[in-house]
Structure 1
Amino acid sequence: MSAFEAFVTVHQYQLAAIPEDLWLPLFMKLGEDYLDAGNYVELHYGDPLEGYSLHAKNGDQAIKKHSEIFLVDHAWTTQPDNAHKELLENHKLLERLENLMDIEAEEFEEEESEKEDELEHDDEAIKTVAEQANVSYDRAKEVLEAEKYEIVNAIMRLTVDEDFKKESERLQDEVFGQLVASGKAQEKEDKISKEKEERRKNRHDAWLKERVNNVCNKMWSYLQTYSYSVLKGDGQPETQTAWYINDEVGSAICHSSDPNTMCLPFIFSRGASGMIPYTVMFPIKDIAPGEIMTCDLIPKNLERPIDKAAYLLAYENRILPGQEGVSVDEIKKLSTVCIYIPYYKYEFCDKLAKQSYQPTIDLPKVNCSNEKKERGDEDRILVYTTTEFVRQNLSHSKFKLTNDRTKADIIWFSQDFTEWDSLKPGQIINQFRYENCLTYKQRLADLIQKTYGSPSWTLATYNLNTQLAEFVGDYLNHDGDEKHHENLWVTKPWNFARGIEISVDRYLPKLIRQHDSPTPKIAQRYLVKPCLYNKKKFDLRYIVMVNSDGTVHIYKMFWIRLANKKYNIDDLDDYEAQFTVMNYSNFPMTQLDYKSFIHNMEKQHSIEWTKVQNDINHAIKDVIMAAASEQQPLGLLDKNTSQSYESFGMYGFDVMLDDKYNPIIVEVNFSPDCTRACQYDPQFVNNLFSVTLGDKKGLEAFNVL
């Protein structure tokens, strides 16, 4: 096999998007790292965009369709979470990116000589000058300040005539000798020098941080992604995603809905030498001399024209005028008010406001012909579980653990259960078949919007894959509210827990580009005015059991997750002030007893917790009722399924309170880890299983709705 044939074999999936006539030229250029685009193209500044744009070189020759293929280097490959740190440590890269993004960085100014009001007024030094020069205290102070608190210079300045010359020299030697002997002069000089250096360092750090912030904000107009696989320790492949910025040539290509150039990431495998990422660029139309070079920056998975246009708001100064991604014909197909704020207000919000929901619980019924096996009073109920906290803490006399799932009466899985057809008549499983309508964040938002609309116990939430225009409309509707911090948004993966990949942002391009994250995300309005406990943020975790008849059991004991630092809306980068989930991080965790928390809340805020708890209970029940009365995939019901088994569900509801003590349902978690709950309450697991029996004693631990 030739080297070229081997190249085609290894890269066949990437090559599929490239015309076959260009494979050999690409192979040759990759082998030599041959970056020859500069022979064919040139950068223009301010023509026709404010920043840089890429044009075919002026001359007699056009660049013909599929005639050339060019390698574009990557200036920077990063992960967004690491970007700030990398730029703070690499000043040359920072400067390159500033030039590439046309960011004019301010020069760092050295500190001027200390101003009069910054001088330390040393009373002893003033008295010394006044006495030695035989002048008043005020005159000595004036001259001493003018001489930057150099005592000898001040005395000499006051005694410059010839009669005092010899005396001045004597005084200089005497005073200098005294100061040196005491060590005060050196000590003072060292102190002033240290303070000056600290001030300079603080100003330099702030100046550098500002530059880095400017690049990290604007980088979302330039970042692209590619995915690749790596082998984990167990030999299984794992997909990872890299974010990258093309070099000056690639970053100057602007967007057009009718592009003349194709740009694709290409990961070149050099075998044992490793892999090198490039972008390959080739013309898909004839490009005339001097013509601007364009590509299509809109992801293929955006289908609605208004979403395409909304996405392009992330690409400041990279959109060719008149090529905003939505044609006139496409706009006519939209509503007559097709700009984002009216679309958000009159299409989306009006639709939510029209929801008048009267839920009727109708969870899946068990086929009556499949009766449970008869059981005597002494018979124990067999439990099969993959959940460690259940295995370690189930001690109820009515239950017995088994390792044989086929013989189990109750099956308790901590993973998603998929083998529904294997369940036997009469068995009980701790999952509802379609419960991801609750536990996937984007599906929970969809469920609530299509039932209740926009209830008071939720925050505005948008699926960035399907509701990009709605989100942009909401954002722009609050644009200009920065001083009130109304336009802050938290982005979260659809189905991650433990605070993974969650961030708070106000910069629209970054929020829009979360659409391109390898992990699909929602954008949820940030609660900027939360209720505080000792001036710190908190949220509450409730364990909720739902029976197959729709009965909701809310465990009376709940868990308080408290931020480590006082809430400060002006510092979004401080995790310990903005977030409450500490037990999966390297930060210390504060643990609170729920009864003490209630007592202190009533004392701090002059409220009755019973009313707050009732509001929380009703909000939780509203969520369950919506799920229990809707067909899948919106809800839990499946009218086409006749099941022979029973189900119940256990969920972790995360609840916040606003500054008016109204509950906000933040999210619902599948199979929550209850190890800490078992430590607080040794009967916790037994009480959970009592729900399946209707055991009166165990039910006392719950609010039953």
Structure 2
Amino acid sequence: MSAFDAFVTVHQYQLSAIPQELWETLFMKLGEDYLDAGEGNAFELHYGDNVEGYSLHAKTDLAKESNIFLIDHAWTTKPENAKKEIKSAPGLLDRLETIMDIEKEEVVDSDDEDEIEEDANMIDVVAEQANVSKEKAREALVAQRYDLVNAIMQLTMTEEFKAESERLQDQVLGQVLASGKPEEKEERLKKEKEERRKEKEKEVLARRINEVYSKMWTYNQTYQYSVVTPEGTTGVESVWYMNDEVGSAVVHSSEPNCVMLPFIFSRGHASTIPYSVLFPIKDIAQGEIVTRDFIPKDLKEKLEREAYLAAFPGRIADEEEMGGEDDFIDAYEKSTETTSKPATSAKPVNAEAILKMPTTQNVEIKVYTTADFVKQNLTLPHIVFTDDIQSADIIWVVQDFGDWNQLKPNQRISQVPNESCLTYKNNLAQLLSQTYGKVSWFPQTYNLINQLPAFVGDYLQRSRNPEDHNLWITKPWNYARGMDIGIAESLPQAIRQRETATPKIVQEYVDKPLLYHDRKFDLRYIVLLQQTQPMIACVYNMFWIRLANKKYDMQNLDDYEKHFTVMNYSNYQMTQIHYQEFIKNIEKEHKGLKWAEIQKDINVAIKDVLSAACIQEQPLGMASPSTAFKPFAVYGFDVMVTSDLKPKIIEVNFSPDCTRACQYDSEFVNNIFSVVDGRVGQIGKALEAFTIL
């Protein structure tokens, strides 16, 4: 096999997007690392030509599919590492600022700062009070660095007083010189000046890095690659990269004349090298601007495409492709309307009476479970563990279950068909939006895959209020434990999250939370959905406080320990607080706060969430024709409280790990099982640990 044939075999998937007649040319250029897009005679950079910053133009006529050009990657990163890399890599910050046309901020010593801007009103006041000309008043103000009082004193001081003042200054200076202190003072002042400069350098560097990070979302691109997880499964990760000066100057058009693609060149076992390749798909005349289509293939509708382009200000060849703000705001307003009526109405039921209905007691109950905390903490009499799922009376599995047809009549199982309508963040947002419209107890949340115009409209509307921080949490649809979560500080950053390997939602950042000892917190509630038709649900009275490690403010959004609360699955220190101690302390800290009133509102919000799921038919909700088996579920509800004491349901978690609950309450599992199946016994006592919703 020839070297070229081997190249085609190894790279056939990537080559399928490139015209076959260009494969051999690409092979030759890759072998020589020939970055001819920037070094050859085909292209040249222009500034301010058709777009505000840099753009790429044909230096000569180029025929369709006549050549393929190799482009280097200036930087490859992951967003969570980006700022550290910019800070530590020599020369990277300067280069990125050049690529993105960002004016470099220089450090200016206080001694070198411009003189204070002249103030005509101050000159008039000094001239009038000191009875001098405006010119003398101006000179005095300049000499006193525009200190109004000192300027007037300087002009009104008598000659005798001036002489005495100068004599005293000379005397003091002589004493200082005689004592040998001038050198010490000079050294101290020099050191203070150096410290001030270092502090300014740090501040300027931080501002420069933040500006580059904010603007990089308008320039960077991404590709995914497969990885093998520690568990042995295959996963996908995203890599973000920025093309070099030439590649980054290619701007967008929906009718492009070029295609540009990432190309990962494998040199066998030695290494892989990431490039981008560029080739014309139309004839390009000399001087014509070079364009490609930025928009992902799955965005078909006009408003979706325009919403995506909001991530690329200044990089659109034809400004008419940009959408109007009013169109996006209309999309946002429509998204908040109730669009799906419940299939049935939730009828009031006497849940406590149903739960306490007489049942056959003291019978053997077979339990099949894959949950270790159940095996270790279920100590009720008449419980027998079995490895045969078919013979079990109660099935408690922590893995996603799908063999519904294999269940027998009256078997109870700890999952509800289609409960992903609650536990997938995108589905929960859709369920609540279509059932209730916009509600106060759930942060505005958007699926970036199919709600981009509505999100852009919401963002733009909030931008009109200067007091609104307009920050958004970005989360994968189906991750827990705070994995891959971040804060989007700009519209381009938020929009570009739709390109990550795992689909994401954006959720309104709760920027005015109730604080506990000046720190953010959220609350984890364990909620038992005992049955769905009719709905009976109970919230466990014991809840868990997850506390940020640092005092809350809106500075440094990268500081995880300040803005996030999930510490127990990371290397951060975790603060443990008992819920009763928390209630006592927060009522003491915030005068007039009554936790019982807040708890009541939290319970109502939790019930509203579950009600929506139980009355909406599948696939929007969980309602379905009756089944022979009897599902129940245990969910972890994460709740925040705002500074005006209103609850916010953040998310609902599937099959939460209750190990910590068992450590706090040894009867936790026993109480759950007693309420799930009345045959276990002592349901009255078990219900004391719950509040029935």
Task: Bin the TM-score by the shorter chain.
Answer: 0.7 to 0.9
> What letter is aligned with 2:335?
F
> What letter is aligned with 2:581?
S
1:39 and 1:138, CA in 2 relative to 1: closer, same or farther beyond 3 A? same
* 1:656-688 Cα shifts (integer Å, max 9, x gaps): 122222211111011112111111111111111
Note if contact 1:360-1:625 (Cα within 8 Å) is conserved in structure 2.
no
Note if contact 1:430-1:649 (Cα within 8 Å) is conserved in structure 2.
yes
Q: Does residue 1:633 correspond to 2:630, yes or no?
A: no
Q: Which residue of structure 2 lines up, in the alignment, with residue 616 of structure 1?
A: 602
Unaligned 5+ residue runs, structure 2? Answer: 116-142, 146-161, 348-358
Report the number of matched residues: 629
Equivalences for 1:296-315 in 2 at 5 Å?
Answer: 296-315=293-312
Alpha-carbon separation, structure 1, partners of 2:96 and 2:342: 52
* 1:279-300 Cα shifts (integer Å, max 9, x gaps): 1111111111111110000011
TM superposition shift of 1:696: 1.6
TM superposition shift of 1:342: 3.4
Q: Does residue 1:277 correspond to 2:274, yes or no?
A: yes
Q: Which residue of structure 1 lines up, in the alignment, with residue 335 of structure 2?
A: 348
Alpha-carbon separation, structure 2, partners of 1:404 and 1:110: 77
Note if contact 1:257-1:323 (Cα within 8 Å) is conserved in structure 2.
no
Alpha-carbon separation, structure 1, partners of 2:168 and 2:31: 75
Equivalences for 1:236-635 in 2 at 5 Å?
Answer: 236-322=233-319, 324=321, 339-345=327-333, 347-349=334-336, 351-352=337-338, 360-361=345-346, 377-482=361-466, 484-548=467-531, 549=533, 550-603=535-588, 604-635=590-621
1:198 and 1:380, CA in 2 relative to 1: closer, same or farther beyond 3 A? farther
> What letter is aligned with 1:561?
R
Q: Which residue of structure 1 lines up, in the alignment, with residue 647 of structure 2?
A: 663
Q: Which residue of structure 2 lines up, in the alignment, with residue 79 of structure 1?
A: 78
* 1:69-119 Cα shifts (integer Å, max 9, x gaps): 11111000000111111011124011011111111112222453899999x
* 1:611-655 Cα shifts (integer Å, max 9, x gaps): 22221111111111110111111101234xx63322101001111
Alpha-carbon separation, structure 2, partners of 1:39 and 1:278: 20
Of residues 6-15 and 377-386 in structure 1, the stretch that sits farther from structure 2 once superposed is 377-386
TM superposition shift of 1:325: 6.6
Note if contact 1:64-1:286 (Cα within 8 Å) is conserved in structure 2.
yes
1:588 and 1:102, CA in 2 relative to 1: closer, same or farther beyond 3 A? same
Note if contact 2:343-2:615 (Cα within 8 Å) is conserved in structure 1.
no
1:106 and 1:425, CA in 2 relative to 1: closer, same or farther beyond 3 A? same
Q: Which residue of structure 1 lines up, in the alignment, with residue 16 of structure 2?
A: 16
Q: Which residue of structure 2 lines up, in the alignment, with residue 371 of structure 1?
A: none
- Name the SS of the counterpart of 1:14 in structure 2: helix
1:447 and 1:247, CA in 2 relative to 1: closer, same or farther beyond 3 A? same
1:348 and 1:644, CA in 2 relative to 1: closer, same or farther beyond 3 A? closer
TM superposition shift of 1:414: 1.4
Alpha-carbon separation, structure 1, partners of 2:563 and 2:552: 6
Note if contact 1:87-1:94 (Cα within 8 Å) is conserved in structure 2.
yes
Note if contact 2:221-2:242 (Cα within 8 Å) is conserved in structure 1.
yes
Of residues 446-455 and 688-697 in structure 1, the stretch that sits farther from structure 2 once superposed is 688-697
Q: Identity across aligned pairs (percent)? A: 52
Q: Over the residues paired in the alignment, what is the CA RMSD in angstroms?
A: 2.8
Of residues 393-402 and 427-436 in structure 1, the stretch that sits farther from structure 2 once superposed is 393-402
Alpha-carbon separation, structure 2, partners of 1:231 and 1:625: 40
Q: Which residue of structure 2 lines up, in the alignment, with residue 112 of structure 1?
A: 111
- Name the SS of the counterpart of 2:568 in structure 1: coil
> What letter is aligned with 1:576?
E
Alpha-carbon separation, structure 2, partners of 1:697 and 1:658: 34
Note if contact 2:446-2:455 (Cα within 8 Å) is conserved in structure 1.
yes
Of residues 379-388 and 105-114 in structure 1, the stretch that sits farther from structure 2 once superposed is 105-114
TM superposition shift of 1:515: 1.5
Alpha-carbon separation, structure 2, partners of 1:359 and 1:104: 61
Unaligned 5+ residue runs, structure 1? Answer: 119-134, 156-170, 332-336, 363-374
TM-score (structure 2 length as normaliser): 0.85
1:697 and 1:191, CA in 2 relative to 1: closer, same or farther beyond 3 A? same
Alpha-carbon separation, structure 2, partners of 1:622 and 1:3: 65
* 1:357-403 Cα shifts (integer Å, max 9, x gaps): 696359xxxxxxxxxxxx97544212121112112211111322223
1:644 and 1:275, CA in 2 relative to 1: closer, same or farther beyond 3 A? same
Alpha-carbon separation, structure 2, partners of 1:250 and 1:552: 57
Equivalences for 1:136-285 in 2 at 5 Å?
Answer: 139=166, 142=169, 155=177, 175-176=179-180, 191-232=188-229, 236-285=233-282
- Name the SS of the counterpart of 2:666 in structure 1: coil
1:141 and 1:300, CA in 2 relative to 1: closer, same or farther beyond 3 A? farther
- Name the SS of the counterpart of 2:92 in structure 1: helix
Q: Which residue of structure 2 lines up, in the alignment, with residue 95 of structure 1?
A: 94
TM superposition shift of 1:236: 4.7
Alpha-carbon separation, structure 2, partners of 1:421 and 1:143: 101
* 1:501-559 Cα shifts (integer Å, max 9, x gaps): 22223311111111112221111111222222223222111100012242001101111
- Name the SS of the counterpart of 2:259 in structure 1: strand
Note if contact 2:462-2:468 (Cα within 8 Å) is conserved in structure 1.
no
1:338 and 1:530, CA in 2 relative to 1: closer, same or farther beyond 3 A? closer
TM superposition shift of 1:586: 2.5
Alpha-carbon separation, structure 1, partners of 2:370 and 2:331: 48
Equivalences for 1:671-682 in 2 at 5 Å?
Answer: 671-682=655-666
